[in-house]
Amino acid sequence: MQEYFHQIADALTEALTGDEVFTASFTAEESDFVRFNHNEIRQAGSVTQRAISLDLIEGQRHAGGQLRLSGDFASDRARAGELIKDLREIRGQVPEDPYLLYATEARSTERREEDRLPEASAAVADIQKAGAGKDLVGLYAGGGIHAGFANSLGQRNWYTNYSFNFDWSFYHTTDKAVKAAYAGFAWSGDEFGRKLGWATEQLAAIGAAPQTVKPGRYRVYLAPSALHELVQLLGWGGFGLKAHRTKQTSLLRMIEGGATLAPGVTVLENTGEGVAPNFQEAGFLKPDRIALIEQGRFRDCLVSPRSAKEYDVPTNGASAHEAPESVDLAAGDLAMSEVLGKLDTGLYVNNLHYLNYSDRPGCRATGMTRFATYWVEHGAIQGPLNVMRFDETIYRALGENLVALTAEREMILEPDTYFQRCTSSARLPGALIEDFSFTL
């Protein structure tokens, strides 16, 4: 893959004229996909694909386009040449871009992670053994993900990672299911067994008649998958420099009002241990770690090249959308085995969905519980709860009302496979919170 990308990049360089410059981003994957229903394989296959995004620049004018590559060099070189001709024509019709910024200092890098994945057949065997006698529904995706950057100034960057994601549910009846996921870089039978055991316990509990509790404030435990939804919401403009300078960030009270979260809350953009590549589409490198929130206080923004140019600050390699791609929330000291006991009486929430801001400047979020949510009394699950809506500020949930974060964390990979496997990831603990507000 890498050699092929370099061949294409060299061909693009030869096709330039005058003072033209190009930047090119390459993505590729070699993935196995297996879909399950009723614990049977319903669909299985492998995908090998390559794509390139090209920006053709002259001065402050530029135009961009994309190509799906076939892997046949002669054909792809010809199609890339035609794309350059088309972009040259388009570029002549567009105005200068005052915020165009791309890497002009050639900083070439190469990062290749070890392939520790099992054969897909071995993972499938473990999955089907685990789902024996149950209605297991899910999707396994695993394999190599590759990314590259090149420009006509001689810079070459390469990244290869191997990961898997098994996103599954134990379906019970009607709308009742226990959703779980197992993702990472090496398959561990012990870790998968732990997740399987807990999902099996919940499956037994979900069969009881669902209960309804009145709206109000309750002690809750948000499992890592539920907390992930809240952290994702924060990523919608919460950390980007552009959103901060235009005062559209949901963390405005932290920036201007002195609001803080609990001292145990530290949020990183942890590219060094994530799945996303360590460079971005304009050729700027990403540091291994950026502290976004440190010990409850806001620390740094994500700064894309365009924002860097507009506001005259250095870029830290953020992509154009200025959202975390490898988010990492520090662990606490609560053992997961003690969660039910520490929760005592309240709600155990596995999943949330339909999240949005009900008050963006106040960082107030609303959303719905989903899949298996349980009512717990005296540290014991009593049964499932009907769907409820929450409405709560991040400052209360992860600030004054945060009781504890778990010592164990989960690696969560986005299961999206639109066009290609997603490279966004999160490593998160669970959160025990008091006085969490439910409105319906």
Q: From edge to edge, which strands make up the β-sheet containing 297-298? A: 297-298, 290-294, 267-269, 326-329, 425-428, 410-413
Burial class (CB in 10 A: 0-12, 13-18, 19+), 140: buried
Q: What is the mean pLDDT of residues 34-47?
A: 95
Domain membership of residue 85 (yes or no) is yes
Residue 189 is predicted with a pLDDT of 87
173 and 57 both lie in a single domain = yes
Name residues whose C-beta falls within 8 Å of residue 315's C-beta, 6 or more positions apart in sequence. Answer: 101, 284, 303, 304, 305, 307, 308
Residue 309 is predicted with a pLDDT of 97
12 and 159 both lie in a single domain = yes
Domain membership of residue 423 (yes or no) is yes
295 and 149 both lie in a single domain = no
Backbone angles phi, psi at 257, to 5 degrees: -105, 0
Residue 371 is predicted with a pLDDT of 87
Whole-Å CA distances, 117 to 122, 187, 188? 10, 6, 10
25 and 164 both lie in a single domain = yes
Q: Which domain holds residue 117?
A: 2-206
Answer yes or no: is pLDDT of 284 > 90.
yes
Give the separation between CA 130 and CA 180, rounded to whole angstroms.
13
Residue 174 is predicted with a pLDDT of 81
Answer yes or no: is pLDDT of 79 > 90.
yes
pLDDT confidence of 384, banded at 50, 70, 90? very high
Distance of CA 119 to the CA centre of its chain: 25
297 and 385 both lie in a single domain = yes
Domain membership of residue 68 (yes or no) is yes
Of 187, 206, 225, the one marking the end of a domain is: 206
Q: How many residues does the chain have?
A: 440
Residue 66 is predicted with a pLDDT of 96
Residue 418 is predicted with a pLDDT of 86
And the tokens for 342?
A: 């520490």
And the tokens for 164?
A: 């898997």
Per-residue pLDDT tens digits for 159-175: 999 999 999 999 998 87
Per-residue pLDDT tens digits for 387-431: 999 999 999 999 999 999 999 999 999 988 888 999 999 999 999
Domain membership of residue 347 (yes or no) is yes
Of 172, 206, 240, the one marking the end of a domain is: 206
Contact 300, 292 (CB under 8 A): yes
Give the separation between CA 153 and CA 78, rounded to whole angstroms.
22
Q: What is the mean pLDDT of residues 293-316?
A: 97
Residue 360 is predicted with a pLDDT of 95
Residue 60 is predicted with a pLDDT of 97
Domain membership of residue 211 (yes or no) is no
201 and 334 both lie in a single domain = no
252 and 349 both lie in a single domain = yes
Residue 359's identity, in one-letter code, is D
Q: What is the mean pLDDT of residues 287-316?
A: 97
Of 158, 185, 206, the one marking the end of a domain is: 206
And the tokens for 227?
A: 């907390």
Per-residue pLDDT tens digits for 101-134: 999 999 999 999 999 998 999 999 999 999 999 9
108 and 237 both lie in a single domain = no
DSSP string, 256-280: HS-----TT--EEE-GGGSSS-SB-
How many helices (DSSP H) and strands (DSSP E) are in the chain? 10, 20
Residue 422's identity, in one-letter code, is C
Domain membership of residue 371 (yes or no) is yes
Give the separation between CA 25 and CA 5, rounded to whole angstroms.
9
Q: What integer best gives the mean pLDDT of the chain?
A: 95
Instruction: State the total domains in the chain.
Output: 2
250 and 344 both lie in a single domain = yes
Whole-Å CA distances, 177 to 172, 369, 371, 390? 5, 13, 6, 20
Residue 176 is predicted with a pLDDT of 86
199 and 221 both lie in a single domain = no
High-pLDDT (> 90) share of the chain, %: 90
Cα angle for residues 34, 36, 41 (degrees, 5° grid): 70
Which residue is it, tokens 């919608």? 236
224 and 130 both lie in a single domain = no
Which residue is it, tokens 């009781």? 403
Residue 157 is predicted with a pLDDT of 98
287 and 385 both lie in a single domain = yes
Sign of CA dihedral 394, 397, 402, 406: negative
